[in-house]
Structure 1
């Protein structure tokens, strides 16, 4: 090999050795941020230790803004163990349905209070009223920090039996939950204050509630519907009952439509003009009761414009259960609403001795 060839080869090798290697941090900030906002917050500390650039991006307002637009399902469950005299611990799992099963995140054991109704406002979860004993307590879980704090108490003791909770105009309304007729209370998350919504005393006879069109819809076991509006008060809808013996199991609102799952009738939607329940059909216009709804489902929630059902299935390991999810996409066809299975699969593997409790969608 000539001296010239050796020199060219050495120079080439020297340039290769000096060529910068591509890395994650060498990408534009906007690209890195779009990757980081899908990473669970529990990894923020580890990311901050990688480099000054990542530390700056993790703490940036832009990442906070991106994450605030991302919604996740927060599902709590009790884990019962023998020898604890019936005492239960509350665990939380967070995930986004439709993604890989490895993308779910088991949260730390959180001191979920033994209270009744739960409602999410932004990134916070509010626990309202008592379970076994009527209570005036209000506790707030900050899902970003995992911190649970006590908030100002209600004026009326309430339980989770026959109580309606709704979010209207960014305020939480609580109806019923007491043995006697009581005034409706409203809580303002911004000022952290309670107040009575009016002087009228009411008694809630419904077991399910959801917010639709600035009203709290209250649904009884048999499908009877009543509404509460801060402006109009309570209005009992002349609802057509589907069949004797059928009862509501779940309730949720998707894109300004009220949906309910009946034990035998399957997935229904409420026609607010005709005051009747209509069955959600499959995409071919046929009865979608068997295809769209699992009778084993124990939780139902709106997620990104779809309905998400959850239920536990036996795992090969007798000490575990697979948490299964089915996403139902919905479309209006004329005077009917059709549904189709958009995704289904196992989202988590949990201990066998669980009981699902809260199922909420939380932003950020």
Structure 2
């Protein structure tokens, strides 16, 4: 056998054909594939391989989660195929109150405070290789801002006091990864609140919920609007959007969905016998069209244990139509599992989905 044949990814196949074949293998088998040969091991951690998967397409949606513990300020994890969270490299400069955004295979951590000082800095997690990279800084420092991605651009809203010209002019900014820089987004003075407790993108608009009320921004026409009373009252905690419906967890222990076009909240039914009565610290993400919920659970009923558990459930959500009535929202739990044990006192910060 010649040296050229020995170096082929798959014997008797051209490398371009081999890459096309290997790119179709589910991620659950990638660990086994790395043991086949050194060339395949190297391929699976290359940008060429991820590009091939995206072109087929053969990407899978993976859950990423960040949480805060007493011993470390911020830890990041990814959900493995065995329904367990695996730790990732630490953030080089831990922050509090960062905004999160996802573009393709990258998670952007935007702003936040470092030693109680708001920051302009942006950190990027390249989820292909689990490496942290510094991103271009914003025009102004922010903490607890809102963020949303529309047409491949990140829009960030609030998180700063508009008490001078710079912070007023740049109260909202947009980041375009093509030219790799931030630019200001014009905003009317009357909507410039400081803190944003939640955000989401629904129907082509960025929704940002402030301490008092909330606003939506339409980047296609530059229009700002106050959110309706129903959405303002019902949106509590961290939310996500699945198939155009915004889901959040309320204080009564219910997962609710909001139809922005109809202005109605509806309870997600069918989960009473599947999930615990209350989900402490519930955080949600759209993972490949499924509603994934992550929450905190004390290990011991007497509360004296040193550890707590992080639980996760994947829910298939559907809209059932009824004659002469608006459709009801129904959910079916696909799987539910304890995915991580952490020191007591830890808390979930954020979760999102990345296609790889």
TM-score bracket relative to the smaller structure:
0.7 to 0.9
> 2:89 is paired with a residue of what secondary structure?
coil
Determine which structure has more spread, i.e. the larger CA radius of gyration. Answer: 1
Map of 1:151 onto structure 2: 135
1:221-300 equivalences in 2 (<5 Å) = 226-230=215-219, 231-240=221-230, 248-264=236-252, 266-282=254-270, 295-298=278-281, 299-300=283-284
CA 1:177–1:290: 2 relative to 1, 3 Å: farther
Secondary structure of the equivalent of 1:259? strand
1:321 aligns with 2:308: yes
Structure-1-length-normalised TM-score? 0.74
* Distance (Å, rounded) in 2 between the aligned partners of 1:51 and 1:363: 25
**Structure 1 range deviating more: 183-192 or 315-324:** 315-324
- Counterpart-to-counterpart distance in 1, 2:43 and 2:154: 36
Q: Does the 8 A contact of 1:90 with 1:112 survive in 2?
A: no
Cα distance in 2, alignment partners of residues 109 and 241 from structure 1: 36
- Counterpart in the other structure of 1:214: 204
Structure 2 gap segments, 5+ residues each: 1-9, 163-167
Q: Whole-Å Cα distance in 1 between the matches of residues 25 and 343 of structure 2?
A: 31
Query: What RMSD in Å do the two structures reach over aligned CA positions?
Result: 3.5
User: 172, 175, 180: which is aligned to 1:192?
Assistant: 180
Alpha-carbon contact 1:119-1:125 (below 8 Å) kept: yes
Q: Does 1:119 align with 2:101?
A: yes
- 1:280 partner SS: strand
Q: Deviations over 1:265-313 (max 9, x none)?
A: 621121223323222222xxxxx56855752342222212122111233
Name which of 314, 318, 337 aligns with 1:331.
Answer: 318
TM-superposed CA distance for 1:53, in Å, is: 5.8
Q: 2: CA distance between counterparts of 1:272 and 1:122?
A: 26
Query: How far did residue 89 of structure 1 move?
Result: 4.4
> Which ranges of structure 1 fall in alignment gaps of 5 or more residues?
1-24, 82-87, 283-287
Counterpart residue number, 1:61:
48
What number of residue pairs does the alignment pair up?
Answer: 319
How far apart are residue 141 of structure 1 and its match? 2.0
44, 61, 65: which one aligns with 1:75? 65
Q: Deviations over 1:81-123 (max 9, x none)?
A: 3xxxxxx243222115xx4345x43323342531511212121
